[in-house]
Every structure is written in structure tokens, then in C-alpha cells.
Structure 1
Amino acid sequence: MEKRYTSMERVLTTMSKHEPDKVPLFLMCTHYCAKFLDVSIKNYFSKPENVARGQMMLLKKFNNDCLNPFYSAAHEYAAFGSEVIFNEAGPPNAGEPIIKNFDDILKLQPPDVKNSKILRNCLETISILKEEVGMSVPIAGGVLSPFSLPILQMGFDKYIELIYEKPELLEHLIKINERFCTEWANMQLAAGASFITTIDSMSVSSIIPKSIYLKTGFLSAKRTIPTIKSDVAIATSSASSASILEEILESGIKAILVSHTDDLAEMKKKVGKRATLLGNLNGIEMCRWTRSDAELNVKEAIRKAGDGGGFILCDSLGDIPYQVSEDILYEISESVNKWGRYPLNWR
């Protein structure tokens, strides 16, 4: 008789590089779930109960294998004293940079995570979900990487200037962010998260030369990842991480969200059994997909990376756009059930 896996068992088997019953599916939705409750995105994020309810509806609608209580990068950054700016049909945006000039870096203190209302809401969401699912479904925590957080704290242009012209101040800022990242990640784990995803859009070679990354973001990652008390995944905001793949693995990352610009088969070959791959459906193109497109893309991703476990189907950003039709999400789910059953003998 075929073993019936819970989502947690399916994911853990996959991450151990063995084949479960089928390829796990992570439809990672944040603001998208406001649709299910028929409320505005601002209203949706106003109560932890709303976010928890939206995630549970996502789980049941599409046979999803993960809960994603991450609110937004703007919410995390707001804990430093900024604000969250809401859109009608998109993710929340961050408010103005809190670092207006380089001297402000020396005055900056990490947020008091325990007493930040905006962070407590996220922790409460995690706790509600943990109460609902226990150990049957993994719950994803999320943090901005210490090296990428300054993009919001001071703006991209000023941050680039800091990197090239003020290395000592850069180190000071990153160390502050590392303390926050570690505390915030581990508090999510204590609330019930199963693993942590670090969102690191700054480290990729399309943004900053690898030679600079090796002296900055890479060193920060090697310091920070071991302080997080769970497996850690990395998401690079749909940018290719292929050029820094070995460094990502050396830092201790156990799962990599693969860009839609990367070849899954090639990434699987390079990574081998050292990490699990997630991806790499193109979320932007998904807005225009037909159901046939969805099935074709799911089948192709599984063909390239599904053999032997170590692969979770996901979009390449880790956040489904609001404009994607629910019909397409249903088709993705049905296609995983059709083409992702192990052993993969349909080719």
C-alpha cells in the first residue's frame, strides 16, 4: 500500500534527497491571500487572525505543502521606525529611509523585537498556524538578510556609496542588522516556524560585483546563518544566484530558490545533494498563463529537477503576484498531482 505523507513528511523526505509520494508544492502567497477573505490588503494585514485564516485557506484550496506567514519586507523594516505603505493590488511598500546621512548609522539601534507591535503580529500569526497544523505542515519564517536590509534603511544609491566609500560604517551597519536578523529569526522559530528564509537581493552578481560581495555580504552570511537555529533557505528576489552558488552553500544554506532565468537541470547538477532546490516558475509570466501553459511549465520543472528528491516546486520569487488567476493556481496544483508522483515514470 502506498504511504500517505503529510506535507511535513513530504518536505523532510525531499530535503533528505529521497523521493516521497510526490513533489512538494510551495505556493508562497502573502498579500494574495487577502482575495480569499474579500478584504483590502491593508485590512488583511491589520490582524494576525486574518493572515492565519488566509494561509489556511491557501493550504486547503490548492493542497499546498507550506504555510507562509511572512507579511512583507516593508513590515519588517517598519520595526526600525519606518511605515508600511499599502497598495490596492500589490505587496506593501516601505516608507522613507530612516538613514538620511552616514552619521545616522552610528545612532541606529536594532529594534526591540519583543516589544514591536508589528513584529508581534507576525509572531502571533505563526503561533495561530502552529496551533492549527502542529507538525503536519511546515511553516516558513522569513527575514531580510543583514546585507540587503540597508537597501530599505538608506536607499539603494546611498547604500552603494556606503559600500564603496565607507567600509567601516558599512561593517557597523551590517553588524547591527545581523543582531536583529538572528534575534528575529529565532523568535519566529520559537513561535512555531519550521525553517527560515533569508531574503537577499543585494548579494547577486547582477547587483554588485562578486569581488565586493566576497568582502561584504558573503562574510556577513557566514557569520549569520549559523546563528539561526534551523535550516535556512535563500531567496534572491528572482535574480540568478548561479555565480555565487558555491559561496551560498559554504555559508550554510540548505535550500535555494532558483531564478526563472536559471536552468533547473544545470543548477540541480551543480548542487547535487548539498541543498534542496525550490523553483522556478516565472511569477510574472504566470499572470498571463493559460491552464495549458501552467501544466507545461510544471511538467518541465519536474522533468529537470524532480528525480531523486531535493526539489520543491515553487515560483522563482517566493510570492505569487496578486494578478495571477486562481484558476492558474488550481492548475499548478493539479499538474503537480498529475506529473509529480514518484517514481517519475511518465517521461
Structure 2
Amino acid sequence: MEKRYTSMERVLTAMSMQEPDKVPLFIMCTHYCAKFLDMSIKNYFSKPENVVKGQMMLLEKFHNDCLNPFYSVAHEYAAFGSEVIFKEDGPPNAGEPIIKKFDDILKLQPPEVKKSKILMNCLETISMLKREVGTSVPIGGGVMSPFSLPILQMGFNKYIELIYEKPELLEHLIKINEKFCTEWANMQLMAGATFITFIDSMSVSSIIPKSVYLKTGFLSAKRTIPTIKRDVAIATSSASSTSILEEILEAGIKAILVSHTDDLTEIKKKVGKRATLLGNLNGIEMCKWNRSDAEFNVKEAIRKAGAGGGFILCDSIGDIPYQVNEDILHEISESVNKWGRYPLNWR
């Protein structure tokens, strides 16, 4: 008789580089779930109860293998004293930079999580979801990397100036962010999160030269990731991380969200059994897909990376755009059931 896996068992089996009953499916939705409750995105995020209800509906609708209580990077950044700016049809945006001039860095202190209503709401959401599902479904937490958070704290152009012209101040700012990142990640784990996604959009070579990253963000990642007490996945906002794969692995990353611009076959060859791959459905193109497109892309991703385990089907951003038709998400789920059953004899 075929073993029936819980979502947790399915994911843990895949991450141990073995084949479960089928390829795990992560339909990662944050603000999208406001649709299920027929409310504005602002109202959706106003109460943990709304987010919990939205995530549980996501689980039921699409047989999802992960809950995603992450609110937005804007919510995390708000703990430093900024604001969250809501849109009608997209993820929340961050408010104005809090660092107006370089000297402001010297006055900056890491926020206390317990004194931030927004962050405490996020933790309550995780705790409520944990009470709902116990150990049957993984719950994903998330943090901005200490190296990427300054994009919000001071704006991209000023941050680039800091990197090249003020290395001592850069180090000071990153150390502040490291302290916050570690505390925030581990409090999510204590609340019931199963793993943490390390959002590091600044690290990729399309943004900053690898030679600079090696002296800055890479060193920070090597210091920070070991302080997080569970497995850490990395997300680079859909940008290719191929040029820093070895560095990602050296830093201790256990799962990599693969860009839609990368070939899953090649990434799997390079990574081998050192980390699990998530990906790499194109979330932007998904907005224009019909059901045939969805099935084709699911089948291709599984064909390229599914064999032997070590693969979780997901979009390449880690957040489904608001404009994606719900029928497409149903087709993705149905296609995983059709083409993702192990053993993958159809290949």
C-alpha cells in the first residue's frame, strides 16, 4: 500500500534528497490571500486572524505543502521606525529611508521585536498557524539579509555610495542589522516557524560585482546564517544567483530559490545533494498564462529537477503576484498531482 505523506513528511523527505510520494508544492502567497477574504490588502494585514484564515484557505484550495505567514519586507523594515504603504493590487511598499545622511548610521539601534506591534502581529500569526496544523505542514518564516536591508534603510543610490566610500560605516550598519536579523529569525522559529527564508536581493552579480560582495555581504552571511537555529533558504528576488552558488553553500544555506532565468538542470548539476532547489516558475509570466501554459511549465520544471528528490516546485520570486488568475494556481496544483508522482516514469 502506498504511503500517504503529510506535507511535512513530503518536504523533509525531499530535503533529505530522497523521493517522497510526489514533488512538494509551495504556492507562496502573501497579499494575494486578501482575495480569498474579499478584503483590501491593508485590511487583510491589519489582523493576524485575517492572515491565518487566508493561509488556511490557500492550503485547502491548492493542496499546498507550506504555509507562508510572511507579511512583507516593508513590515519588517517598519520596525526601524518607517511606515508600510499599501497598494490595491500588489505587495506593500516601504516608507521613506530612515537614514538621510551617513552620520545617522551611528545613531541607529536595532529595534526590539517585542516593542514592535507589527512584528508581534507577525509572530502571533505564526503561533496561530502552528496551533492549526501542528507538525503536519511546514511554516516558513522570513528575514531581510543584513546586507540587503540597507536598500530600504537609506535608498539604493546612497547605499551604493556607502559601500564604495564609507567601508567602516558600512560595517557598522551591517552589524546592527545582523543583530536584528538573528533575533527576528529565531523569534519566528520559537513562535512555530519550520525554516527561515533569507531574502538577499543585494548579493547577486547583476546588482553588485562579486568581488565587492565577497568583502561585504558574503562575510555577513557567513556570520549570520549560523546564528539562525534552523535550516535557512535563500531568495534573491528572482535574480540569478549562479555566480555566487558556491558562496551561498559555504555560508550554510540549505535551500535555494532558483531564478526563472536559470536552467534547473544546470543548477541541479552544480549543487548536487548539497542543497534543495525551489523553483522556478516565472511568476511575472504566470499573469498571462492559460491552463496549458501552467501544465507545460510545471511538467518542465519537474522533468529538469525532480528526479532523486531535492526539489520543491515554487515560483521564482517566492510570492505569487496579485494579477495571477486563481484558475492558474488550481492548474499548477493539479499538474503537480499529475506529473509529480514518484517514481517519475514519464520522463
Shorter chain as denominator, the TM-score bin is over 0.9
Task: Tell me the equivalent position of 2:158.
Answer: 158
Task: Tell me the equivalent position of 2:211.
Answer: 211
RMSD (CA atoms): 0.3
Distance 1:205 1:67 in 2: 30
TM-score (norm: length of structure 1): 1.00
Superposition map of 1:8-157 within 5 A: 8-157=8-157
Q: Show structure 1 runs of 4+ deviating over 6 A.
A: none
Distance 1:233 1:130 in 2: 20
Task: Tell me the equivalent position of 1:330.
Answer: 330
Give the AA of the match of 1:93.
N
Distance 2:53 2:189 in 1: 20
Task: Tell me the equivalent position of 1:237.
Answer: 237
Give the AA of the match of 1:325.
N
- Secondary structure at the aligned position of 2:201 is classed as coil
Give the AA of the match of 2:259.
S
Task: Tell me the equivalent position of 2:171.
Answer: 171
- Secondary structure at the aligned position of 1:142 is classed as strand
Distance 1:89 1:96 in 2: 21
Give the AA of the match of 2:323.
Q
Give the AA of the match of 2:296.
L
Q: Alpha-carbon deviation of 1:115?
A: 1.5
- Secondary structure at the aligned position of 2:245 is classed as helix
- Confirm or deny that 1:185 pairs with 2:185: yes
Distance 1:57 1:200 in 2: 29
Task: Tell me the equivalent position of 2:227.
Answer: 227
**Structure 1 residues 15-42: Cα deviation after superposition (integer angstroms, max 9, x where no partner):** 0000000000000000000000000000
Distance 2:198 2:274 in 1: 18
TM-score (norm: length of structure 2): 1.00
Give the AA of the match of 2:15.
M
Give the AA of the match of 2:116.
S
- Secondary structure at the aligned position of 1:37 is classed as coil
**Structure 1 residues 225-256: Cα deviation after superposition (integer angstroms, max 9, x where no partner):** 00000000000000000000000000000000
- Confirm or deny that 1:276 pairs with 2:300: no
Q: Alpha-carbon deviation of 1:346?
A: 1.0
Distance 1:153 1:51 in 2: 26
- Secondary structure at the aligned position of 2:36 is classed as helix
Task: Tell me the equivalent position of 1:251.
Answer: 251
- Secondary structure at the aligned position of 1:318 is classed as coil
**Structure 1 residues 265-298: Cα deviation after superposition (integer angstroms, max 9, x where no partner):** 0000000000000000000000000000000000
- Secondary structure at the aligned position of 1:19 is classed as coil
Distance 1:273 1:70 in 2: 28
**Structure 1 residues 291-330: Cα deviation after superposition (integer angstroms, max 9, x where no partner):** 0000000000000000000000000000000000000000
Distance 1:287 1:324 in 2: 4
Distance 2:230 2:153 in 1: 27
Give the AA of the match of 2:161.
E
Give the AA of the match of 1:284.
I
Give the AA of the match of 1:305.
A
- Secondary structure at the aligned position of 1:202 is classed as helix
Tell me, which stretches of 5 or more residues in structure 1 are unaligned? none
Count of residues paired in the alignment: 347
